């Protein structure tokens, strides 16, 4: 009689702090033993020469998000989570986005309908709040936080989503009072609008001008403003998709002033430059916001990964097909840059790119890699200790890596529904060869093995990392917020 459902034998297990030669025993979808010479499993996986890592947690990706304007995301929960699994990611956190005029609850309900029965890997939801009405601020948001939707994104740009500073303060006050984590997209909307108009008047509308319309100064200004608003409320925030030096400097400033500001970056700011937008209309493939910068800024972001400035690395997978009237060619036409949907695919390539150029080159350690891509996002969003580590009692979400496997990235080998990858032709060393979600193989030796619908929705806990600095030392709970939350 076997002791385990599955044993992963003879591999090198790495977590955010340890590296050990150990077998992993799995029963009932959880890790139940770590040791040497474990008893037999019904399923035996030989991981000799392989790395056994916690599955990735991709805490910033967009799947089947309603778009309007005749646009459509290429990936739904089926193709998006399939692609995630094949790249070693076992949990994704996409966004239930509120449309203006819609209740937040309706946005969340709609997103459950979109995800139900489709996912290969487990998933939680962030919310996007675009219409912070009194009902949303007083009732809906606190109730939803209590039900396990414990993070939400605030946009400082995009006309249909942006909030002004007063609205942001109201939402941060709710985050503080109810223990949620706010994520902030920091770009100055008015500057972008003015620069875009000016470029358009001059006939400068090719994809490369997307980067001209969003210079780093406007990211710096908004980053500093977001930090200030977080300081006023005394609540931690995460600055998402940090692109380069100017925003990094603001976050370093915040840290040097004792402020709890978390930072996220993405592979596009490590591997792409604005030069990738300068290929005629093909440049549309690399349009995302903020835009990729230059090589010097890539180095600054790498430094921030190695010295601990960044908390997480996410893909910001925002999938639009290139040759598609619902994608990068709206209505079937090559359009001025400001009408091209923002976003690039990256769920499947996030981990291999970072492993190859980060761990193999020694820029970051293997432990840092695990922390940035799995453990920290799980902690930041209240999924720890169930997700993000290999430990007794944790879900057996595991990626088994061949650290020597050489791969030339080509879109035809990927499992998303996008018709391109910005990383076409890049060579990487190291790729996940087997991915387990709760002990079940979902990707194995080049084959998708999982079942759509196996992936479960995960309600999130209130993250410790979202706690304000000032905590009542006697009662052990937050002081009432200093700023009222009435809308
Ligand atoms: N920028 C975002 O903020 N979200 C989706 C994609 C993008 O480019
Ligand atoms: Zn964003
Ligand atoms: Zn995004």
φ, ψ for residue 359 (rounded to 5)?
-75, -45
Ligand 1 atom, smallest distance to 287 CA: 8
Neighbours of 299 (CB within 10 A): 14
Instruction: Say which residues have a Cβ less than 8 Å from residue 76's Cβ, sequence separation at least 6.
Output: 63, 64, 114, 118, 417
User: Which residues approach ligand 1 with their CB closer than 6 A?
Assistant: 62, 185, 288-289, 316, 318, 342-343
Match 């194995």 to its residue by tokens: 444
Q: Which ligand is nearest to the CA of 94?
A: 3
Ligand 1 atom, smallest distance to 342 CA: 8
Rounded distance between C-alpha atoms, residue 428 and residue 270, angstroms: 14
CA of 449 to the centre of ligand 2 (A): 32
- The pLDDT averaged over each successive group of 10 residues in the chain (487 residues) is 93 98 98 97 98 98 95 98 98 98 98 98 98 97 98 96 97 96 98 98 98 98 98 96 98 97 98 98 98 98 98 98 98 98 98 98 98 98 98 98 98 98 98 98 95 97 92 52 44
**Predicted pLDDT at 190:** 97
Task: Give the residue, by CA position, lying nearest to ligand 1 atom 1.
Answer: 289
Neighbours of 153 (CB within 10 A): 20
- Is there a cis peptide before residue 144, judged by omega within 30 degrees of 0? no
**Predicted pLDDT at 69:** 87
Nearest to 372 by CA among 465, 306, 296, 466: 306
Angle at 328 between CA 327 and CA 333, to 5 degrees: 100
Angle at 36 between CA 35 and CA 41, to 5 degrees: 80
Rounded distance between C-alpha atoms, residue 374 and residue 317, angstroms: 16
**Predicted pLDDT at 450:** 84
Roughly what angle, to the nearest 10 degrees, separates helices 245-256 and 216-233?
20
CA of 185 to the centre of ligand 3 (A): 8
Q: Which whole-number Å values give the CA distances from 355 to 8, 173, 398, 420, in the listed order? A: 21, 38, 16, 21
Rounded distance between C-alpha atoms, residue 92 and residue 424, angstroms: 23
**Predicted pLDDT at 473:** 54
Q: Which whole-number Å values give the CA distances from 332 to 64, 282, 321, 460, in the listed order? A: 20, 14, 11, 40
Q: What is the Cβ-side half-sphere exposure of residue 334, based on CA atoms within 13 angstroms?
A: 9
Rounded distance between C-alpha atoms, residue 233 and residue 231, angstroms: 5
Q: In what order do the strands lie in the sheet with 56-58?
A: 56-58, 89-92, 122-123
- Identify whether the C-beta of residue 126 lies closer than 8 Å to the C-beta of residue 442: no
CA of 318 to the centre of ligand 3 (A): 7
Ligand 1 atom, smallest distance to 288 CA: 8
Angle at 305 between CA 301 and CA 307, to 5 degrees: 110
CA of 196 to the centre of ligand 3 (A): 21
Ligand 1 atom, smallest distance to 185 CA: 3
- Identify whether the C-beta of residue 181 lies closer than 8 Å to the C-beta of residue 466: yes
CA of 445 to the centre of ligand 3 (A): 31
Task: Give the residue, by CA position, lying nearest to ligand 1 atom 6.
Answer: 343
């Amino acid at each position: 009689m076997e002791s385990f459902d599955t044993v992963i034998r003879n591999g090198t297990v790495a977590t955010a702090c340890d590296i050990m030669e150990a077998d992993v025993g799995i029963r009932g979808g959880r890790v139940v033993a770590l040791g040497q010479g474990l008893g037999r499993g019904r399923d035996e996986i030989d991981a000799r020469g392989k790395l056994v890592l916690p599955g990735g947690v991709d805490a910033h990706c967009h799947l089947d998000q309603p778009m309007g304007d005749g646009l459509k995301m290429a990936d739904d929960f089926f193709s998006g989570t399939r692609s995630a699994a094949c790249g070693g990611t076992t949990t994704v956190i996409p966004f239930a986005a509120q449309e203006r005029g819609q209740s937040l609850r309706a946005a969340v309900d709609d997103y459950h309908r979109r995800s139900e029965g489709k996912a290969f890997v487990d998933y939680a939801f962030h919310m996007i709040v675009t219409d912070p009405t009194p009902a949303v601020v007083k009732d809906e948001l606190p109730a939803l936080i209590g039900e396990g939707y414990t993070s939400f994104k605030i946009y400082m740009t995009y006309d249909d989503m942006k909030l002004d500073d007063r609205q942001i303060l109201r939402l941060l006050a709710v985050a503080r009072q109810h223990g949620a984590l706010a994520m902030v997209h920091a770009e100055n909307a008015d500057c972008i609008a003015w620069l875009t108009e000016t470029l358009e008047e001059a006939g400068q509308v090719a994809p490369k001008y997307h980067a001209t319309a969003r210079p780093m100064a406007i990211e710096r200004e908004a980053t500093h403003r977001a930090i200030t608003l977080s300081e006023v409320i005394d609540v931690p925030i995460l600055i998402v998709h940090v692109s380069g030096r100017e925003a990094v400097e603001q976050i370093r400033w915040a840290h040097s002033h004792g402020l709890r500001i978390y930072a996220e970056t993405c592979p596009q700011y490590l591997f792409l430059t604005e030069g990738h937008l300068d290929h005629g209309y093909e440049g549309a493939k690399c349009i995302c916001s903020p835009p990729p910068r230059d090589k010097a800024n890539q180095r600054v972001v790498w430094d921030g990964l190695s010295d601990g400035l960044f908390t997480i690395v996410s893909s910001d997978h925002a999938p639009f097909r290139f040759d598609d009237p619902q994608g990068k060619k709206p209505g079937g036409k090559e359009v001025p840059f400001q009408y091209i949907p923002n976003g690039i695919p990256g769920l499947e390539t996030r981990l291999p790119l970072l492993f190859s150029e980060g761990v193999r080159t020694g820029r970051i350690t293997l432990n840092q890699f695990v922390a940035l891509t799995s453990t920290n996002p799980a902690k930041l969003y209240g999924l720890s200790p169930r997700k993000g580590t290999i430990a007794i009692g944790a879900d057996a979400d595991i990626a088994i890596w061949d650290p020597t496997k050489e791969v030339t990235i080509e879109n035809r080998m990927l499992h998303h529904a996008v018709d391109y990858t910005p990383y076409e032709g890049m060579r990487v060393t190291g790729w996940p060869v087997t991915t387990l979600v709760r002990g079940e193989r979902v990707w194995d030796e080049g084959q998708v093995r999982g079942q759509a619908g196996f992936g479960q929705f995960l309600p999130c806990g209130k993250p410790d990392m979202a706690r304000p600095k000032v905590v009542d030392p006697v009662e052990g709970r937050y002081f009432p917020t200093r700023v009222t939350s009435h809308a």
